[in-house]
Structure 1
Amino acid sequence: MVTSLIAFNKPYGVICQFSEHDTHPSLKNFITLPEFYPAGRLDTDSEGLLLLTNDGKLQTKIASPKFKLPKTYWAQVEGIAVPSAINQLQKGIELKEFVTQPAKVKIIAAPTCLWQRAPPIRERKAIPTSWLSITITEGKNRQVRRMCAAVGFPCLRLVRVQIGEFNLFEHSLALGKWQALTENNLFS
């Protein structure tokens, strides 16, 4: 079988490009397959599941909001999340240039399966944190971070854990590692 789709567990601080960068490691430091490109992006300060492909049609199917492929994130936010904020996120948030589609959002316990982040998040003794599971079908620039900030709960840590049917932890994909997939792993 020829590999046309891979899943990568992107560490914090890695930039989502293959070309060299002055201050950040790039995908080139982890993936040596030729002609693969990200199907969507993760900010340098976000972690977790990134899909890459060498098939342009598949890249569009994964990244385009037209196909509404759900993406689930675990967000550690500053403060104790309240039901009114969850309701706002679930209905859609007005950001500067667009209104987000409704999201699936719930408060979760601090995940025990996550790796230690390097460097660790800044913690303030007087301000507690909460964890949210947020599923969106869009994926605009820094969308989840902006949504959380708009309801008064800035993101301290953001980890994408699932795209479509593929879950990072169900497949035991270690930090900084990648594995080959098929479309069946994503689409039911």
Structure 2
Amino acid sequence: MIEQMCGNLNTYIDECDNNYVGTSGGNEQYLKEEMCRNVVSIVNEFDNITAKELNEMKDEVIRIKGSVTSSIHKCTTLHNDLSQFHESFQKIGDNKELCLIASIKCKHIIQQALTQLGKSGKAFNVQRKSVHNVRIPSDSYSCYITGICALPDGQVLVADYNNKRVKLLNQQYQVVSHWDVTAKPWDICQITPSEVAVA
């Protein structure tokens, strides 16, 4: 649109130059005024289009922000519900009747969560890829990462299969701590705000 306006403006200036060659002093003032009116008209048209596009973009950002806020609220609510069920399961222990009732309720809540969240229908594209060295001096073998778990504070846990270790990485992906496990870890996931499970 902007290119088209620039083209129109240049065409008009060329026409004015061509008309100016054969004019006398009286017509010169008229041509200047006509040229100014046309330039002002083109600038006003540009302003109107720009304002309209900016308003459309603003509306789209507000719509997306509302959708994201709603999704975050739903996820937080569902996470809290599932955390409460997890705590309940730990308190129930070996009572089979209570365990059955809790599992039915939990299944119902999970089905509700899946219905509420639905399928996103969106595909995510990889923006960039980076390689980080997570080998530590005491590693006997090259690292083979089979599981990754991002923590809420931005740190990352990785399961190193070959060295039988779980390693804690800081936000710059540098190893800051590690934990030796008795078997080769296949995967890792967060189960509570302060606990992870290693398989």
TM over 0.5: no
- Pick the structure with greater CA Rg: 2
Give me the TM-score of the superposition, normalised by structure 1.
0.21
Please state which structure has a larger fraction of its residues in helix: 2
Structure with the higher fraction of residues in strand conformation: 1
Return the TM-score normalized by structure 2. Answer: 0.20
Of structures 1 and 2, the one with the larger relative CO (CA 8 A, separation 6+) is 1
